[in-house]
């Protein structure tokens, strides 16, 4: 069955089906449920029963609109304008191609897919079928990053010559997602630079309005490996003699601090503490960071020369307490410095400073509202043929190309 999508006006809400009902879908669903005049969730596809039922309950979906797998959904699709694909990236390519074949527009989580060729194939198919594929590069919608772009674009600070950008991943996020978690193995997902920092590379390319001419990258997995385990370390933190002083302790992160637990499902009759205890005893998140099966890097640097001669120095650092992005931009008339909270412009001739303080925005939910603006922009793109979405797949291919080439360079294969 092929859907015919004729929506090109604001006469009714855009009908959307969610594929994957985890952390990201929860953000986009917040927008949909709070803007019933603009969007309506008309179906959900999710392997996990609890999550599927939870979304169905929130959106008031009957059982014939709930599917376990995307194969089930596409063999008996629901009439809709669009799908949001918020599954892990090893479940992006196939549902994307099927969605395009069935005539849906797509709001697609990053990274687009698992190889550059797959990314290009989706973009080509979308173009051929006249469908929007918007990639969720939320920084383009975040007030702090929008201000940086505005300052550079204004031209009043001269021309950009070089940029230094540091993505501090933070040890908590690193241990949770890239050592113990579902982004810890390249074959299951992508090289870490792409999984974690395609947003950063996308931001830098968007900021400079250019493409990369040459790059070189270095990095490795050097700390989170067996041989670095403390003396007598156990396979699980709950059994470990070194737990009390280990900065990567799962007991401390989940049980004591109650951080990074948003994705732990709590079945009826259980409490979050029951779930944490069970995870520490049996789950992937209770494992010692030195005794996991991770193979993604734990530090990487990337140097780029762009087609407009700008040079960019970027590093992805996991060993930081903070989890933030810092950017320094050298222009011909001034320099811009930002730490994701405050942007300072220092003018060379006058020595004057301009300060833009986003400290009150930092830490606001939904990436300071950016997650909600991504959906809004996508919906506007579907409703209004003259509206070009800010994160169209054609614009995302470049950041993905850079990350894949960085991985080849790191491995000495470029
Ligand atoms: N834009 C951003 O800022 C941002 C932030 C975090 C994650 N992401 C990306 O979003 C995507 C999802 O991440 P998440 O944090 O929501 O993960 P998640 O694990 O919370 O959610 C993914 C859901 O997909 C479901 N799923 C997996 N395979 C499925 C299948 N075959 N059929 C149906 N459902 C399936 C899982 O059960 C899970 O509930 C990833 O690509 C990730 O890289 C983007």
Select from 3.40.50.2300, 3.40.50.720, 3.30.1280.10, 1.10.940.10 the CATH code of 14-131: 3.40.50.720
User: How many whole angstroms from 272 Cα to the centroid of ligand 1?
Assistant: 21
Nearest to 43 by CA among 25, 62, 28, 26: 62
**What does the pLDDT look like over 357-405, one tens digit per residue?**
999 988 888 888 999 999 999 999 999 999 999 999 999 999 999 999 9
Kindly indicate the confidence band of residue 302, based on its pLDDT and cuts at 50, 70 and 90. very high
**What does the pLDDT look like over 260-275, one tens digit per residue?**
999 999 999 999 999 9
Helix (H, G, I), strand (E, B) or coil at 334: strand
User: How many whole angstroms from 110 Cα to the centroid of ligand 1?
Assistant: 10
**Cβ(96)–Cβ(106) under 8 Å?**
yes
**Which pTM does this prediction carry?**
0.95
Residue 8: per-residue pLDDT: 55
User: How many whole angstroms from 209 Cα to the centroid of ligand 1?
Assistant: 29
Report the pLDDT averaged over residues 111-139.
98
Residue 362: per-residue pLDDT: 81
Flag whether pLDDT at 5 surpasses 90.
Answer: no
> Facing residues of 41 across strands?
16
Ligand 1 touching residue 109 (CB < 6 A): yes
Residue 26: per-residue pLDDT: 96
User: How many whole angstroms from 253 Cα to the centroid of ligand 1?
Assistant: 22
Share of the chain above pLDDT 70, in %: 98
Phi, psi of 304 (to 5 degrees): -130, 145
Residues 140, 136, 383, 45, Cα dihedral to 10°: -160
User: How many whole angstroms from 318 Cα to the centroid of ligand 1?
Assistant: 21
User: How many whole angstroms from 25 Cα to the centroid of ligand 1?
Assistant: 8
Nearest to 106 by CA among 72, 60, 150, 74: 74
Ligand 1 touching residue 70 (CB < 6 A): yes
Ligand 1 touching residue 46 (CB < 6 A): yes
Maximal CA-CA distance, the chain: 67
Nearest to 276 by CA among 292, 262, 291, 264: 264
**Cβ(17)–Cβ(46) under 8 Å?**
no
Kindly indicate the confidence band of residue 4, based on its pLDDT and cuts at 50, 70 and 90. very low
Ligand 1 touching residue 21 (CB < 6 A): yes
Residue 98: per-residue pLDDT: 98
Ligand 1 touching residue 138 (CB < 6 A): yes
d(CA 397, CA 133): 12
d(CA 161, CA 158): 9
Atom of ligand 1 nearest to the CA of 89: 41
Average pLDDT over all residues of the chain: 96
Helices first, then strands: H and E counts in the chain: 13, 14
Kindly indicate the confidence band of residue 1, based on its pLDDT and cuts at 50, 70 and 90. very low
Beta strands at 324-331 and 334-338: parallel, antiparallel or unpaired: antiparallel
User: How many whole angstroms from 68 Cα to the centroid of ligand 1?
Assistant: 14
Ligand 1 touching residue 23 (CB < 6 A): yes
Q: Boundaries of CATH 3.40.50.720 in the chain? A: 14-131
> Facing residues of 325 across strands?
167
Kindly indicate the confidence band of residue 11, based on its pLDDT and cuts at 50, 70 and 90. confident
User: How many whole angstroms from 316 Cα to the centroid of ligand 1?
Assistant: 22
Q: Boundaries of CATH 3.30.360.10 in the chain? A: 142-224+297-362+399-410
Beta strands at 82-85 and 14-19: parallel, antiparallel or unpaired: parallel
Residues 199, 200, 202, 208, Cα dihedral to 10°: 150
CATH number for region 142-224+297-362+399-410: 3.30.360.10
Helix (H, G, I), strand (E, B) or coil at 168: strand
Flag whether pLDDT at 84 surpasses 80.
Answer: yes
Burial 276-291 (b: 16+ CB within 10 A, else e): bbebbeebebbbbbbb
**Cβ(102)–Cβ(77) under 8 Å?**
yes
Residue 2: per-residue pLDDT: 43
> Facing residues of 314 across strands?
165, 302
Ligand 1 touching residue 89 (CB < 6 A): yes
Nearest to 398 by CA among 314, 333, 307: 307
Residue nearest to atom 18 of ligand 1 (CA): 22
Atom of ligand 1 nearest to the CA of 25: 16
Query: 108 is written with which tokens?
Result: 């697609």
d(CA 219, CA 300): 4
Residue nearest to atom 28 of ligand 1 (CA): 87
Nearest to 148 by CA among 328, 395, 12: 328
Residues 231, 236, 241, 246, Cα dihedral to 10°: 80
Ligand 1 touching residue 22 (CB < 6 A): yes
User: How many whole angstroms from 19 Cα to the centroid of ligand 1?
Assistant: 9
The helix (run of H) or strand (run of E) holding residue 193 is: helix 192-208
Q: Specify the residue for token string 């960019």.
A: 312
The pick from 46, 84, 87 for probing ligand 1's pocket by mutation, whose C-beta has the most ligand atoms within 8 angstroms, reads: 87
The pick from 109, 119, 202, 400 for probing ligand 1's pocket by mutation, whose C-beta has the most ligand atoms within 8 angstroms, reads: 109
Helix (H, G, I), strand (E, B) or coil at 259: coil
Flag whether pLDDT at 354 surpasses 70.
Answer: yes
Nearest to 224 by CA among 258, 280, 272, 174: 174
- CB atoms near residue 252 (< 10 Å): 16
d(CA 346, CA 72): 57
Report the pLDDT averaged over residues 328-345.
98
Flag whether pLDDT at 9 surpasses 90.
Answer: no
Flag whether pLDDT at 184 surpasses 60.
Answer: yes
């Amino acid at each position: 069955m092929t859907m015919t999508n004729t929506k090109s006006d604001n006469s009714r809400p855009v009908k959307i089906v969610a594929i994957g009902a985890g952390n990201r879908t929860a953000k986009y669903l917040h927008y949909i449920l709070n803007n019933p005049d603009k969007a309506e969730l008309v179906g959900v596809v999710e392997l996990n029963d609890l999550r599927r039922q939870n979304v169905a309950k929130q959106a008031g979906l009957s059982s014939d609109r709930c599917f376990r797998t995307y194969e089930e959904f596409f063999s008996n699709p629901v009439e809709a304008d669009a799908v949001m694909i918020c599954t892990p990236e090893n479940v992006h390519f196939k549902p994307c191609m099927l969605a395009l074949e069935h005539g849906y527009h797509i709001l697609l989580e990053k990274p687009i897919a698992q190889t550059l060729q797959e990314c290009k194939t989706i973009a080509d198919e979308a173009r051929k079928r006249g469908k929007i594929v918007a990639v969720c590069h939320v920084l383009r919608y975040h007030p702090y990053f929008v201000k940086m772009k505005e300052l550079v674009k204004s031209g009043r600070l001269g021309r950009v010559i070089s940029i230094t950008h540091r993505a501090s991943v933070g040890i908590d996020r690193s241990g949770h997602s890239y050592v113990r978690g579902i982004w810890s193995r390249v074959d299951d997902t992508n090289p870490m630079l792409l999984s974690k920092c395609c947003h950063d590379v996308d931001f830098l390319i968007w900021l400079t309005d250019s493409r990369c001419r040459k790059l070189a990258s270095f990095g490795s997995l050097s700390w989170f490996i067996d041989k670095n385990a403390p003396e007598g370390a156990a396979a699980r933190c709950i059994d470990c003699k070194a737990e009390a002083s280990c900065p990567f302790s799962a007991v401390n992160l989940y049980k004591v601090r109650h951080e990074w637990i948003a994705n732990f499902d709590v079945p009826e009759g259980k409490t979050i503490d029951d779930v944490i205890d069970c995870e520490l005893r049996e789950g992937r998140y209770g494992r010692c960071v030195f005794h996991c099966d991770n193979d993604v890097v734990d530090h990487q640097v990337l140097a780029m020369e762009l087609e407009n001669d700008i040079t960019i120095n970027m590093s992805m650092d996991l060993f930081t307490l903070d989890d933030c992005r810092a950017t320094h931009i050298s222009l011909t008339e001034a320099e811009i410095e930002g730490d994701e909270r405050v942007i300072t412009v220092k003018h060379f001739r006058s020595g004057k400073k301009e300060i833009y303080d986003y400290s009150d925005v930092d830490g606001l939910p939904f990436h300071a509202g950016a997650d909600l603006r991504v959906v809004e922009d996508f919906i506007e793109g579907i409703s209004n043929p003259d509206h070009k979405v800010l994160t169209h797949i054609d614009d995302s291919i470049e950041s993905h190309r850079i990350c894949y080439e960085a991985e080849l360079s790191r491995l000495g294969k470029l």
